[in-house]
């Protein structure tokens, strides 16, 4: 099987590639532009691990490069595509919106076009819990309407879901969207809370805590995320024969299209999250409390009933275990005693 994983130098793409490369019957191909949104050394070090596998093939390429992406699809004829490459980050999308359109919209269109012209059997793509936006009914369900994003990043992810459905409808391209909930763990992104908090606490610097700490997140460990993706890859979506156009369910369609939440199904208070980091570092945080930032939501909480019922999988890594694993990795990677 030939699988294209876009963004293999990224956090989730690296872990998924590593997991699948351990299966001898799978060849993993990847494109990544190694942009400088965060430390490129971290991306290069992830890639160096993947390059040790003989069944890994890497192309340094930008998703928005239409001709090169199309040529790659035609040359390799992938069986499955997992699109994880994107310009990430809710807050940065407010200050630098054009980058998000180029990567997340134009880039995803090139993926869709490559898939439909080369008859890819299954396209999986990263969406985000941020698409729930202004929704307040908890837990967030894939059966809820998500038409009120509160950041441009969320809007691009919602747009990806709509674009994928269009291609599923027009070209019978099987598409599965995956809404990830606050992913964390070893080799994580430096712009995310766990990485920044750990770094600042170790260095004796203050951490910035928004909405005065009154927030909850459904933190989901990276191993659970990639296990979920790996299990969904062979589950090619079929048209829902019971789909009712007069009462449309957003999670499925009369076309081969499906949406899943992948989350821990257990929201954690932000202050409890910080206390767990402090416990593993054996050091107290200096906290600067701040008001809620533009684009942020107060709480995320994943309803994963469809994931359990269809795939037979439920994320289960406790926060204490996941944070402990991250801090061990962080100290080892940065050579901190």
334 DSSP assignment = T
Find the DSSP H helices in the chain.
11-21, 40-50, 66-76, 92-95, 97-100, 107-117, 152-171, 193-203, 222-232, 270-281, 305-306, 319-333
- CB contact set of 89 (below 8 Å; sequence gap of 6+): 37, 153, 191
Class of residue 199 by CB neighbours under 10 A (exposed 0-12, middle 13-18, buried 19+): middle
Torsion of CA 147, 304, 257, 116, to 10 degrees: 100
Taking the C-alpha atoms of residue 4 and residue 70, their distance in angstroms, rounded to an integer, is: 13
* Tokens encoding 183: 């992913």
Contact 156, 295 (CB under 8 A): no
> Is 153 among the residues known to form the active site?
yes
Please tell me which residue in 153, 184, 221, 260 is annotated as part of the active site: 153
Q: What's the rounded Cα separation, in Å, for the pair 17 and 28?
A: 7
246 Cβ neighbours under 8 A, 6+ residues apart: none
> Residues with Cβ < 8 Å from 1, sequence gap 6 or more?
25, 26, 27, 79, 80
Tokens standing for residue 265: 């199904």
Residues designated catalytic: 153
């Amino acid at each position: 099987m030939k699988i294209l994983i876009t963004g293999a130098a990224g956090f989730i793409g690296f872990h998924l590639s590593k997991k699948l490369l351990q299966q001898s019957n799978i060849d993993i191909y990847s494109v990544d532009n190694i942009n400088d949104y965060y430390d490129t050394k971290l991306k290069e070090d992830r890639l160096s691990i993947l390059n040790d596998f003989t069944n890994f093939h890497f192309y340094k390429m930008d998703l928005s490069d239409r001709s090169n992406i199309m040529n790659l699809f035609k040359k390799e004829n992938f069986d499955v595509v997992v699109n994880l490459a994107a310009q990430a980050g809710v807050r940065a999308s407010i200050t630098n919106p054009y980058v998000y359109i180029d990567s997340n919209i134009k880039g995803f269109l090139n993926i869709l076009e490559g898939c439909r012209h080369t008859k890819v059997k299954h396209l999986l793509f990263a969406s985000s819990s941020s698409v729930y936006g202004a929704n307040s009914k908890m837990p967030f369900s894939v059966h809820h309407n998500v038409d009120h994003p509160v950041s441009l990043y969320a809007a691009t992810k919602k747009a990806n879901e709509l674009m994928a459905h269009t291609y599923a409808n027009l070209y019978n391209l099987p598409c599965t969207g995956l809404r990830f909930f606050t992913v964390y763990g070893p080799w994580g992104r430096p712009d995310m809370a766990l990485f920044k908090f750990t770094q600042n606490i170790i260095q004796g610097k203050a951490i910035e805590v928004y909405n005065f700490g009154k927030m909850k997140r459904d933190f989901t460990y990276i191993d659970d995320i990639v296990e979920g993706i790996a299990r969904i890859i062979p589950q090619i979506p079929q048209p829902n024969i019971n789909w009712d156009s007069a009462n449309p369910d957003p999670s499925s369609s009369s076309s081969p299209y499906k949406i899943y939440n992948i989350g821990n199904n257990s929201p954690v208070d932000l202050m409890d999250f910080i206390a767990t980091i402090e416990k593993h570092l054996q050091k107290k945080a200096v906290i600067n409390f701040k008001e809620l930032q533009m684009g942020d939501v107060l709480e995320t909480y994943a309803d994963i009933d469809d994931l359990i019922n269809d795939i037979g999988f439920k994320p289960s890594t406790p926060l204490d275990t996941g944070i402990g694993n991250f801090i061990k990795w962080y100290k080892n990677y940065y050579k901190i005693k």
